[in-house]
Amino acid sequence: MFNTLLNLKSATVKAMEKIAGEENVLSGKEELFVYSTDSTNTTEQKEMAEVVVFPQNTMQVSEIMKYAYKKSIAVTPRSGGTNVCGACLPKKGGIILDFSKMNKILEINKDNLLCKAEPGVIIEDLQKAVEKYDLFYPPDPSNLKVSMLGGSIGLSSGGPHTFKYGSTKDFIIDLEVVLSDGTILNTGCDCSKNVTGYNLTQLFVGSEGTLGVITQATVRLIPKPETKRVMLAYFDTLEDTSKTVNDIISNLITPSVIDLIDKNTINTIESFYPTGLLTDKTAALLIEIDGFKSALNEQYEKIIEICKNNNSSYIQTASTKEEEERIWISRRSSFGATAKLAPNVMTEDVVVPRDKIVPLVKGIQYICDKYSLKTCIMGHIGDGNIHPNIALDLRNSIEKDNFLKAKKELFELAVSLGGTLSGEHGIGCEKSEFINLALNQNSIKIMKQIKKLLDPKNILNPKKIFSEE
C-alpha cells in the first residue's frame, strides 16, 4: 500500500509538471507543510496535499482537472489563503491550485463599467487600477491588501462598504469556471442585466470552490464618488449606538460605511496601535459618507445632529486625508491588535437583522465572560454583521474547550435572533458541523444534489460547507 501511494504521488507530480511546467510545481515536504494551513487558527492535525501547482492559464486548469477527475484526486483551489474558516485546507490531500500567478487585469472598460481579471489579482490592486479611470470597485474585505479576487468570489466576501454598495456577489456579472471534469463554462455575459436562463453566476459565487474552479471574473464597476467624509462618534451605551444607526437611515441618509467598535476593541487598539481613540467609551461608530461635494455637507451636519441627539459623548471628525487614514487605520488594526493579547485569535462572523444587534452583542459578551474568554467585538452594524475576535491560547486545553463551547452557543444565539452563521467569511470546514442550525434539511438536500451533479466524484474542495460528504 505504501509503495502504491508513493507511485501515485510521483505520477501526479510528473503529470502536473508536464501540464504546468516543472518551475510551477511544488512537492517538497516543507513546501507542502506550508500549504497545509491558511489564516484559520487551528490545532487539528494538518493534512498535506500531494502537490501544489501554479497554473498559468485556463487551459492548464482544465487539463489539471481532467487528470484529477480521471484519477479521482481531490483538488483544492487557493488564492491568498487569508480566509478564516478553513476554506482552502487540503482536507483530502491531493492537488492544491495556487492562483497567485494568474494575476492579470485583462480589461477595464469605462464605457460598459466592467473589468475582467484573473483570480490572483489582489483586491487593492484592482481598486487602484480602476480608480485611474474614475471608477470604483466597492467590495473591500479588511485584508484587501493581500486578499485575491478568486478567493473573495469563492467566499462572497464583504467589508465595510457592503451596507451601501453590497458585497462581492452584487458585483460579479460573469465567471469563467472549470468544472470537475475539466469542462470550461461561462456563467453570464458582459451585460449588467441578464435573466436569460438560470443565474449560474450566483451559484458559483460563495460556493467556496466546491462546484467549480474560477479562472476569470467580469466585475461590475460604478463611477467613483467625488469625495467622502469620515467621522468617529462615541457612545456610553450600546442602545444609543444602535438607535443612532437607525435614525441616520430613517433620515434618508445611506452612509458608505457604518461600523461598530466596542470598548474592548478600542482599548486593545490603543494599547498596541495608538491612534488617539477614547478608551473610556462603551462603543464607537465609524461613519463614512461619500458622493458629490455639494450634497455631503448637509448629510454630514445631519449625522452630527443625530449623534448628539442620541447622547454621543464625543464626535471625532476628519478634516484631512491624513486624519481620515488615521481613523481607518484604527478600524483595520482591530484584528492585529487583538492578536497581541494571546497566541491565537478566533474570528467569528455572525449576522442578524439590524434590530437584533444589541441583544447579539450583549449575548456575545455574556457567553465570552461565562467561559473566561477575552473578546473584542466589532463589525458592520449597518447590515447586522458582527465579528467577535476571541483571543486565546489553543495550546491550553481548557481555553480551547471553552472556546468550542462558546462558539456553539454563539451560533445558536445568532440563529435564535433570526440570523445565520456567516455574513462574509464563509463556512469552510470550521463551521460545517453547525450548518444544520441555520438551514433546514430540504435546503441542505438540494445543495448536496447540486454538488453531486457538478462534482459527482466529490473531488472539488471536499469536506467543506457540509459536515459529511
Closest CA to 277 of 307, 322, 286, 257: 286
pLDDT score recorded for residue 468:
64
What pTM did the predictor assign? 0.94
Fold of 227-335: Alpha-Beta Plaits (3.30.70)
Q: How many CB atoms lie within 10 A of CB 340?
A: 13
Fold of 2-98: 3.30.43
Q: Give the chain's count of helices (H) and strands (E).
A: 16, 19
pLDDT score recorded for residue 329:
86
- Class of the domain covering 105-223: alpha beta
186 pLDDT higher than 70: yes
Domains 227-335 and 341-427 share a fold: yes
Sorted by where each begins, the domain ranges of the chain are: 2-98, 105-223, 227-335, 341-427
Please give the average per-residue pLDDT across 325-353, as a whole number. 91
Neighbour order of strands in the sheet with 114-117: 105-109, 114-117, 213-220, 172-178, 184-186
119 pLDDT higher than 90: yes
Percentage of the chain exceeding pLDDT 90: 89
What band does 3 get if pLDDT is binned at 50, 70 and 90? very low
User: What burial letters (b/e) apply to 460-469, b meaning 16+ CB within 10 Å?
Assistant: bbbbbbbeeb
pLDDT digits (tens, 9 = 90+) for 392-426: 999 999 999 999 999 999 999 999 999 999 999 99
Amino acid at the residue 48: M
231 pLDDT higher than 60: yes
pLDDT digits (tens, 9 = 90+) for 68-83: 999 999 999 999 999 9
Please give the average per-residue pLDDT across 274-296, as a whole number. 94
Please give the average per-residue pLDDT across 214-236, as a whole number. 97
Give domain 341-427's CATH number out of 3.40.50.620, 3.50.50.60, 3.40.640.10, 3.30.70.2740: 3.30.70.2740
CA 11/CA 222 separation, integer angstroms: 48
User: What burial letters (b/e) apply to 265-274, b meaning 16+ CB within 10 Å?
Assistant: bbbbbbeebe
What band does 1 get if pLDDT is binned at 50, 70 and 90? very low
Q: C-alpha cell of 226?
A: 467625488
Q: C-alpha cell of 431?
A: 463551521
CA 344/CA 297 separation, integer angstroms: 43
Q: How many CB atoms lie within 10 A of CB 416?
A: 14
Amino acid at the residue 85: C
17 pLDDT higher than 90: yes
Closest CA to 210 of 467, 463, 442: 463
pLDDT score recorded for residue 2:
40
Which residues does residue 235 pair with via DSSP β-bridges, in sequence order?
Answer: 283
Reduce the secondary structure of 198-240 to three states and give it as a string: CCHHHHHCCCCCCCCEEEEEEEECEECCCEEEEEEEEECCHHH
CA 366/CA 124 separation, integer angstroms: 37
Q: C-alpha cell of 169?
A: 456577489
